[in-house]
């Protein structure tokens, strides 16, 4: 546990997100690890974003449920919190707004920026009001050996929650 805690308190690598360039994430490794997304976008801008469509038509012509996250609704759910709330990260300036774990950090980076409607992710590039703001994807690979794929998954989930217990709950993470 201490090894994981120290790892999560160490420096995460930073990759600037370019919401106009699908290639921004090619330097992020396709490895397992943890990440968080930072921005200086004001909470009011995030709260004003429209909900994604509830459904979309896939390549086969079938109606499917859209799985992109509803950023506006998630941000509005914290509208009454002060910027210095103790357990939720919701202040002004550059701050983490989402954190998670991934079996493939590069793929997850794409999911949060240029997600297909059927993919669970933020799909940030779909929202023009977000373009003028700074965005960063910070990540760290998991170097801790595990006994099996099941153990690796548990370690990733534990690290995700441990990061949130150290730094706070990012406002765009589901409750």
E strand or H helix that includes residue 154: helix 149-167
CA dist 71 → 75, 87, 88 (Å): 6, 19, 16
pLDDT tens digits, one per residue of 78-95: 888 877 777 788 778 899
Domain boundaries, the chain: 2-170
The reported pLDDT for the residue numbered 91 is: 75
Which residues have a Cβ under 8 Å from the Cβ of 12 and sit 6 or more positions away? 34, 35, 36, 138, 139, 140
Bridge partner residues of 45 (DSSP) = none
Give this prediction's pTM.
Answer: 0.94
pLDDT tens digits, one per residue of 107-134: 999 999 999 999 999 999 999 999 999 9
Q: Per residue, what are the HEC states of 66-86?
A: CCECCHHHHHHCCCCCCCCCC
Which residues have a Cβ under 8 Å from the Cβ of 121 and sit 6 or more positions away? 67, 68, 69, 108, 111, 112, 113, 115
Angle in degrees, CA 23, 55, 74, rounded to 5 = 70
Instruction: Count how many residues are written for the chain.
Output: 175
pLDDT tens digits, one per residue of 62-78: 999 999 999 999 999 98
The reported pLDDT for the residue numbered 80 is: 84
């Amino acid at each position: 546990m201490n090894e994981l805690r120290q790892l999560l308190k160490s420096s995460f690598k930073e990759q600037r997100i370019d919401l106009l360039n699908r290639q921004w994430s090619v330097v992020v490794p396709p490895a397992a690890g943890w990440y968080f997304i930072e921005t200086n976008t004001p909470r009011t801008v995030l709260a004003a974003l429209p909900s994604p469509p509830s459904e979309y038509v896939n390549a086969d012509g079938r109606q499917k449920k859209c799985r992109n996250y509803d950023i506006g609704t998630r941000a509005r759910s914290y509208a009454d919190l002060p910027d210095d709330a103790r357990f939720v990260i919701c202040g002004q300036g550059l701050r983490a707004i989402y954190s998670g774990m991934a079996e493939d950090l590069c793929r997850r980076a794409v999911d949060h920026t240029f997600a297909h409607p059927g993919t669970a992710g933020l799909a940030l590039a779909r929202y023009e009001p977000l373009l003028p703001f700074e965005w960063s994807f910070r990540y760290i690979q998991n170097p801790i050996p595990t006994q099996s794929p099941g153990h690796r998954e548990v370690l990733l989930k534990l690290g995700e929650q441990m990061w949130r217990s150290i730094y706070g709950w990012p406002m765009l993470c589901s409750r």
